[in-house]
Amino acid sequence: MIKAIIVFVSLLALAYANIESEDAIVLIPHGEDPAITKNRIVIPQIKDGPQPPLPCIMADSGTHEHGQTFRKGNFHYRCNNGTAEVIACVAEDMSVIQIGRTFIRNGIRHKCNVDGETVTYEQKSTCFENGVHYDVGESFRNGSFKLACKDNGVAIEGCYLKNRTTDVIRLGESVVIGQHRHTCEILAKGKVRYTVNVLGCRRDQEVYSEGQIWTDKHIRYQCTETGTTKVLGCIDDGGLFIDLGRDILIQGVVHRCYRINNTTFYHRFNCENKSLHECVNNAPTPKRVRSLMNRA
């Protein structure tokens, strides 16, 4: 991607210099030393009438007659009585941009601007997003995301806070505002996700804070930082904890903690003189579990 090309030249870039004698006018390119330059034109003086319009002489471009137009570099000139005046800018593909005008072609913004006695031609890459061209370095909003036009295309810089027009969270960061956590999360393959989660967890009309652990009907839960409830395991009346997905045989009593679909069960039953494997294989199925399995 082209970053930027900026070329500037004097609006009257080649105003003629002249050395007059009684019989001739000597024209040389603007800025060259009259004493040593080899680029010169000698014009006879008209003594008995008006002097005809003078041609223009330009270094590395040659001589151009009055009224003639010509191109040098990124500028289009017209010879006006010895002075080459810039009348337009010229792109690399020979497109002509009039002074004061801007146009975009193939993702490149071309601009021909005049400021005082200076004409500037600018060629800059742009990014095209949702029908709009943006210059490199320019930022803009698309939904919840702050985007920026970079040299290699559009990049996500952050996430806008919900219902805010200027406040942005940087990539990979999160902020807490009131009772909500706002996160600008970087996902796989360059994707970004903006999420808003209520702080704490709500369950059966109770609100639990982040990290808080509680037990309800032999099931032990924990509130995560994203506001979701995580099942840690099961616990019996005596305080014995069983990890989710494990079975324990202690003193002829089997304790089971398992999940079917999205429901967690704690199952306790007597099983003496057998191994844990035998007890589990011959375990009675609680009525609630049978009902759930039948629905499935």
Residue 163 is assigned to a structural domain of this protein = yes
Q: Do 164 and 80 reside in the same domain of the chain? A: no
The answer to the question of residue 178 being in a domain is yes
Average pLDDT over residues 265-280: 87
Q: What's the full length of the chain, in residues?
A: 296
At residue 288, the pLDDT reads: 61
In a domain, residue 132? The reply is: no
CB proximity list for 204: less than 8 A, separation 6 or greater: 216
Among 125, 150, 167, the domain boundary falls at 125
Q: What is the DSSP letter of 152?
A: T
Looking at 159, 174, 198, which one is the last position of a domain? 198
Residue 179 shares a structural domain with residue 216: no
Lowest mean pLDDT among 38-52, 142-156, 184-198, 260-274: 38-52
> Is 266 a residue whose pLDDT tops 70?
yes
- How high is the pLDDT of residue 282? 81
| 0.75 exceeded by pTM | no
Of 125, 153, 187, the one marking the end of a domain is 125
Q: Do 263 and 220 share a structural domain? A: yes
Tens digit of each residue's pLDDT (9 = 90 or more) over 81-108: 888 899 999 988 888 999 999 988 888 8
Structurally, the chain folds into a number of domains equal to: 3
Report the C-alpha gap between 197 and 227 in whole angstroms: 6
The confidence score (pLDDT) of residue 17 equals: 46
pLDDT at position 9: 58
Q: What is the pLDDT confidence band of residue 1, given thresholds at 50, 70 and 90?
A: very low
Question: For the chain, percent helix, then strand, then coil, each to nearest 5?
Answer: 5, 55, 40
What distance in Å separates the CA atoms of residue 152 and residue 3, rounded to the nearest whole number? 9
The CA-CA-CA angle for residues 11, 13, 19, to 5°, reads 135
pLDDT > 90: what percent of the chain? 25
What is the Cα–Cα distance from 263 to 246, expressed in whole angstroms?
15
Containing structural domain, residue 248: 201-295
Q: Per-residue pLDDT averaged across 227-246, rounded?
A: 89
pLDDT band at 2; cut points 50, 70, 90: very low
43 in a domain, yes or no?
yes
